[in-house]
Amino acid sequence: DAGITQSPRHKVTETGTPVTLRCHQTENHRYMYWYRQDPGHGLRLIHYSYGVKDTDKGEVSDGYSVSRSKTEDFLLTLESATSSQTSVYFCAISESQGNYGYTFGSGTRLTVV
Amino acid sequence: GENVEQHPSTLSVQEGDSAVIKCTYSDSASNYFPWYKQELGKRPQLIIDIRSNVGEKKDQRIAVTLNKTAKHFSLHITETQPEDSAVYFCAASIWDKLIFGTGTRLQVFP
């Protein structure tokens, strides 16, 4: 498809449980991003990576952690899921920093009950 | 902090009319401004972008303008069609990431 896949596509989890979302790319792009999409808020950056083991926080990073042990995989972990983390999560990739368009994955719809 | 404001939040037009969506950004260092279209249940997709050394860019019925002095940029869609109905997001680059606006839901009525 677009060289980027997210898994799972849908997930329902209980409050307090850890959850990991996976983003996998086949484009060998250096930059990877995690955004959450909520009505009225658009796309907000959670964390991003500018290389293997190189990550940084975005504007809504509290309660989330990330890891990137390989170029192709970027994992987002909710340490202890809360209802406020119910959202659609999008991963994006970019070949260069900040001045090239992103390619987005298909998204993961996460519901925390 | 870095901020991108987008207006309007919703926009309804008759088929064949033009639509304009406006964004403002806060960081004068921003130099790249893409626009994304997101259809219902789908991923956002890049439709057009502009860099800070250009004032206007066109691609068929879509155009983007940039005013760096005022920190404004706009998306113009002419001769709108029902398939243009979607949510549109503007974004501005801040170093190695993009900050997005809150989106505009465009509805084109036949």
Sequence letter at residue B47: I
A98 → closest Cβ in B42, B45, B98: B98
> If you search the block for the tokens 């066109």, which residue do you land on?
B58
B8 upstream amide cis, omega within 30 of 0: yes
Q: Mean per-residue pLDDT for B77-98? A: 94
**DSSP conformation class of A95:** S
Torsion region of A63: left, alpha or beta (phi above 0 gives left; psi -120 to 50 gives alpha): left
B20 against B95, higher pLDDT: B20
User: Is the minimum CB–CB distance between A89 and chain B shorter than 8 Å?
Assistant: no
Q: Mean per-residue pLDDT for B103-109? A: 97
Tell me, what's the pLDDT at B61? 97
pLDDT in tens, A4-38: 999 999 999 999 999 999 999 999 999 999 999 99
Tell me, what's the pLDDT at A1? 55
Question: Which residues in chain A have their CB less than 8 angstroms from residue B44's CB?
Answer: 43, 90, 104
pLDDT for residue A44 is more than 80: yes
User: Is the minimum CB–CB distance between A32 and chain B shorter than 8 Å?
Assistant: no
Tell me, what's the pLDDT at A98? 63
Tell me, what's the pLDDT at A95? 86
In chain A, the residue whose alpha carbon lies closest to the alpha carbon of B102 is A42
Sequence letter at residue B107: Q
A98 → closest Cβ in B96, B101, B102: B96
B97 → closest Cβ in A40, A48, A90: A48
B85/chain A closest Cα distance in angstroms? 17
pLDDT category of residue B42 using cuts at 50, 70 and 90 = very high
Torsion region of A47: left, alpha or beta (phi above 0 gives left; psi -120 to 50 gives alpha): beta
Tell me, what's the pLDDT at B40? 94
pLDDT for residue B88 is more than 80: yes
pLDDT for residue A2 is more than 80: no
- With a CB cutoff of 8 Å and minimum separation 6, the contacts of A101 are A94, B34, B46, B49
Mean pLDDT estimate for chain B: 95
Question: H/E element holding B109?
Answer: strand B104-109
Q: Mean per-residue pLDDT for B60-86? A: 97
User: Is the minimum CB–CB distance between A90 and chain B shorter than 8 Å?
Assistant: yes
- Tell if the CB–CB gap between B102 and A41 is shorter than 8 Å: yes
CA nearest neighbour of B69 among B55, B57, B48, B84: B55
What string of DSSP letters covers B34-94?
Answer: EEEEE-TTS--EEEEEEETT-SEEEETTEEEEEETTTTEEEEEE-S--GGG-EEEEEEEEE
Q: What whole-number distance in Å separates Cα of residue A50 and Cα of residue B22?
A: 30
Tell me, what's the pLDDT at B45? 96
pLDDT in tens, A57-105: 999 999 999 999 999 999 999 999 999 999 999 999 998 776 678 999 9
B93 → closest Cβ in A43, A48, A98: A98
pLDDT for residue A54 is more than 90: yes
Three-state SS letters, A27-84? CCCCEEEEEEEECCCEEEEEEEEEECCEEEECCCCCCEEEEEEECCEEEEEECCCCHH
